[in-house]
Structure 1
Amino acid sequence: MEAETTPGTTGAAVRSQSFGTVVLSWRKWWRDAVVGTVDQATVIAKRREDCAMSARYMFMIAMSAGIAVLGLLLSSPAVVIGAMLLSPLMGPIIGLGFAMAIGEFGWLRQSARSLAYGSIIAVLLCALIVFLSPLQTVTSEIAARTRPNLFDLLVALFSALAGAYAMIRGKEGTIVGVAIATALMPPLAVVGFGLATWNWTVFSGALLLYFTNLMTIALTAALMARLYGFRSTLSSRQTQFQNAVIVVAFVGLAVPLGYSLRQIGWEANVSRQIQGEVLDAFDGQARLSQFDINYDAEPIEASATVLTPQLRTDAERVASRGMERIAGRPVNFTITQYQVGTSKSAAEQAQLAAVQAQEQVATARADELAARLALLAGMSEDEVLVDRQRRRAVVRAKPLEGASLAAYADLERRIAVTEPEWRIELIPPVRALPRIEFEEGEPTADGVKAIALTAWTARRLGVPLLLTGPAEDIQRLRDLLAEQGAGDMRTEIRSGRVIAQWDNVASES
């Protein structure tokens, strides 16, 4: 007896068979027309060559890092782009992906080693340049690379797809554009900047951006290599595990970056609403000249400059109430009002006058600080270096009879307390370093103070130290001084007590 079939069942079977035929046909086309045209041996050989740690690789890393950090300090996008074009980091990162795809761990270790050495050289060179540079301000180019978000991951993903395709298909000329998009070197330069200035926020944010680009490019390259049929020496079970690791890595990167993007979006939306709230406190002819807000402070700190035909004494209170409602947090808000005419030209003239007034106040403040430092240090005002952009003032103190190093350090602290927005550096004369007492391998309470004073003096003078004493105490002292940035040190093992002195430098009595 023949089985009965319904029209619906027959239609479903036909559609299923047609779909299977299409899939098989597509897979055959992909295998023959796409994968079959790729010279895998040539591609792998070229990728291996790009991963080798050579003198050329190290030289190009150093040149790219130097150009990148200078472009960041100068806030010049054109110079930063030049560094991206030179950066050879794409080679070992793509090599990581191909090595994962074919399961060759020797190649994987080679790529990781080249990448690690190149990254370390770039960071250290950038840190050295920033440390020696008179410019250490966080510019807009630097700040742009300290808050990575989900969009940065997507940029790296699309760039990696293009880069891996170009390398597999032998169209490597397009790598120039890929290098610009992924920006591997500038984040490393910002890491060096954060290291040189001891700015943890800059250091960690830029490091996360670099790690995001690195992982996204490597993992995407691995997926593209698999897609183009590069054979793996791994077993089926190992391959499945590797695929799972890649997926988990992408998700792990996406979660914190997605949260960061959400936070940035929230801040942008709140800032827009708050600016509207400020203008609502005035009539319709008021204009917002300047608005600054710091969400990291507690409470939130905000300030605004408003050009208005009519001054309002209650504007700050009204706007603050609306801000706290929008932000859902306490807000410390200050407002500066300038009375202007109702015409557009009058408002523009007032805005220019406000900027000029702020510049005059800043100049007067810097001149006043220079005069105070010159008086306290016993020097002329011409010998005081004042950098208004970086909020930094440096003066070399005149040697005073009977004044110890502690007196100079205390003088710097007292000046710094009165100028919290400035970085005050008072360079003392070369004097004998304080005595450092140790007990059972650790400094005493007075020894800790002496070590802090010694490190401060070494940082200000930039003179190397000579440490002598028992081996265990000397090593502990060296570690403590290094933690406080003492700089170059030489040690000599001797019996007796610990002594810190200047290395081949005569001190003043």
Structure 2
Amino acid sequence: MSIPAGEQRLEASRRGGAFAGVGKKGHGRAATIAAIARDARLTRGYLLQIVLSTAIAHLGLLMDSAPVVIGAMLISPLLAPIMGFGFALATFDGRLLRRSLQTLGIGTGAAILVALLLTVLSPITDATPALLARVRPSLLDLMVAIFGGVAGAYALLRKFSATLVGVAIATALIPPLATVGWGLALGRYEYAGGALLLYITNTAAIAFMATVVARFNGFGTGLSPRQTWIQSGGILAALAILAIPLAFSLSAIVREARTTTVLRDSLEKMIGPAATIDRFDVDYQSRRPGVTAVVIAPAFAPGLEKSFGKLARDELGNSTRVSVIQLRNGTAEAESQRLAQAAAARENALTAREAQRVRAALAVSFAIDPAEVLIDAERRDAAVRLTPGDEDEERDSGAADPAAAVRAAYPDWSIEVVRPIPAPQPSAAPAPARETTPQAPAGTIARPQQ
């Protein structure tokens, strides 16, 4: 006796669910495509997750907090339309391709817009190491995205949710978009371009590797040889185009690393084996490259900075800034100075962060632009410049002293409020001129009037 089709589907769902036999049987592949298409839809929940993940990533980048940025990666829903794009290429499904590209494009634009608005509204806009880490992608990032795409597609087919979490963290999508918005808002277009290249690299590599994994698992078996050749050639061409700027970037990074090694080795030869290099930094990001070194030696070398500066300028250019600080070894002065420098560096970092918080707090308290708050971090002085309009708003708010809460929170800071000088009031009426008796010329006798 034959079993009705409805009972067969029910029995199949009991045995393995909708994803039973994924990649092996036609029913499993159809169910997988249906699930991917459902996840690639543009919904309110998708847009809400985009906004929330971008806001969290933006704050994490400004705070230079890796845990916060990782949390934003886990919330981001961009992986779903990217996988839809990859599986649509594998099966030549035009409907799924259009849906995935629409969802991905709107999500990308929304993320950049949210980051741009948050940057404009934020009183803190400094470039943190977390932001700078996403503006110079290289071939290494492309390799990470390729391996992550393979792992993500395989995890999607085998329902390994833990692996998908790792892929979301390894191949960052939302943090580069937040960096793009930050760069556009501040006019740092070279940073925005680098972050956008990183995002495109991760997106394309994940999608293309999803296509490859899908084909190896039986998706798109009905395609003609010509379609397969177009598919393979398009993927290789796109990856090759992406690899060109990434290769140049990697070459620049390697060249900088080698230059740093050459300069450090040259300085070690100049100071001799009795001296040591306590600190060696090379700044390639500024318009004028800079080299800073701290040398601990038994004796002071008068021409060390000049000779090393000539070598550094030959390597990096004539505009290179060079600073070589020499400390005597084996003396209490050297040790105390080293400790003092370390303590000063920590204190300067803490003071800079505290100055940013003071400026932001005063700007919020007086409802003014943060640029109107002048900060002297070394002296811990803050001055709030008010305009007549700001003074009217302060009077309307009814607050006795808007800076009182800030003074209480930062007692070590001296906070001064500079108010506008009132315009002079005109007098009511001029005083009448007093009549004066004409004076007689010198040498004459004044006669009384009749």
Provide the TM-score with structure 2 as the length reference.
0.70
Residue of structure 2 equivalent to 1:191: 180
Deviation of the 1:346 alpha carbon: 5.9
Residue of structure 1 equivalent to 2:135: 146
For the residue of structure 2 that corresponds to 1:66, the secondary structure is: helix
Residue of structure 2 equivalent to 1:335: 323
Q: Distance in 2 between matches of 1:387 and 1:125?
A: 32
Deviations 1:92-138 (A, max 9, x none): 00100111111111211111111111111111112222222222111
Q: Distance in 1 between matches of 2:318 and 2:175?
A: 36
Alignment pair present for 1:215 and 2:196: no
Pairing of 1:426-465 with structure 2 (within 5 A): none
Contact 1:146/1:205 (<8 A) preserved: yes
Residue of structure 1 equivalent to 2:444: none
1:89 corresponds to which of 61, 69, 78:
78
Deviation of the 1:359 alpha carbon: 8.0
Deviation of the 1:292 alpha carbon: 3.3
Q: Which has the higher contact order (CA 8 A, sep 6+)?
A: 2
For the residue of structure 1 that corresponds to 2:146, the secondary structure is: helix
Judging changes above 3 Å, is the alpha-carbon distance between structure 1 residues 217 and 357 closer, same or farther for their aligned structure 2 residues?
closer
**Segment drifting more, 39-48 vs 259-268:** 259-268
Moved over 4 A (4+): 232-235, 296-299, 345-348, 355-364, 397-400
Contact 1:308/1:337 (<8 A) preserved: no
Residue of structure 2 equivalent to 1:353: 340
Deviation of the 1:74 alpha carbon: 0.7
Q: Unpaired runs of 5+ in structure 2?
A: 1-20, 360-371, 390-417, 421-450
Alignment pair present for 1:245 and 2:234: yes
Alignment pair present for 1:36 and 2:24: yes
Deviation of the 1:183 alpha carbon: 1.1
Deviation of the 1:296 alpha carbon: 5.4
Count of residue correspondences: 351
Contact 1:306/1:335 (<8 A) preserved: no
Q: Unpaired runs of 5+ in structure 1?
A: 1-32, 371-382, 401-426, 430-509
Deviation of the 1:300 alpha carbon: 3.7
For the residue of structure 1 that corresponds to 2:281, the secondary structure is: strand
Q: CA RMSD in A?
A: 3.3
Judging changes above 3 Å, is the alpha-carbon distance between structure 1 residues 340 and 124 closer, same or farther for their aligned structure 2 residues?
same
Judging changes above 3 Å, is the alpha-carbon distance between structure 1 residues 42 and 85 closer, same or farther for their aligned structure 2 residues?
same
Residue of structure 2 equivalent to 1:484: none
1:226 corresponds to which of 212, 215, 219:
215
Q: Distance in 1 between matches of 2:344 and 2:159?
A: 60
Q: Distance in 1 between matches of 2:376 and 2:77?
A: 36
Judging changes above 3 Å, is the alpha-carbon distance between structure 1 residues 286 and 256 closer, same or farther for their aligned structure 2 residues?
same
Contact 1:340/1:350 (<8 A) preserved: no
Provide the TM-score with structure 1 as the length reference.
0.62
Deviation of the 1:311 alpha carbon: 2.3
Judging changes above 3 Å, is the alpha-carbon distance between structure 1 residues 36 and 283 closer, same or farther for their aligned structure 2 residues?
closer
Contact 1:305/1:337 (<8 A) preserved: yes
Contact 1:97/1:221 (<8 A) preserved: yes
For the residue of structure 1 that corresponds to 2:64, the secondary structure is: coil
Deviation of the 1:35 alpha carbon: 4.5
Pairing of 1:464-475 with structure 2 (within 5 A): none
Bigger CA radius of gyration: 2
Q: Distance in 1 between matches of 2:345 and 2:209?
A: 50
Judging changes above 3 Å, is the alpha-carbon distance between structure 1 residues 173 and 228 closer, same or farther for their aligned structure 2 residues?
same
Deviation of the 1:338 alpha carbon: 4.2
Q: Distance in 2 between matches of 1:298 and 1:136?
A: 20
Alignment pair present for 1:76 and 2:78: no
Residue of structure 2 equivalent to 1:408: none
Alignment pair present for 1:135 and 2:124: yes
Contact 2:176/2:195 (<8 A) preserved: yes
Give the % identical residues.
39
Deviation of the 1:146 alpha carbon: 0.7
Contact 1:340/1:346 (<8 A) preserved: yes
Q: Distance in 1 between matches of 2:112 and 2:142?
A: 22
Alignment pair present for 1:160 and 2:149: yes
Deviations 1:219-251 (A, max 9, x none): 111111111111266543233222211111111
Pairing of 1:58-457 with structure 2 (within 5 A): 58-231=47-220, 235-295=224-284, 300-325=289-314, 327=315, 329-330=317-318, 332-342=320-330, 347-356=334-343, 384-386=373-375, 396=385, 398=387
Aligned partner of 2:24: which letter?
Answer: G
Deviations 1:153-181 (A, max 9, x none): 01101110011011122323321111011
Aligned partner of 2:336: which letter?
Answer: Q
Residue of structure 1 equivalent to 2:34: 45
Contact 1:338/1:350 (<8 A) preserved: no
For the residue of structure 2 that corresponds to 1:281, the secondary structure is: helix
Judging changes above 3 Å, is the alpha-carbon distance between structure 1 residues 394 and 176 closer, same or farther for their aligned structure 2 residues?
farther
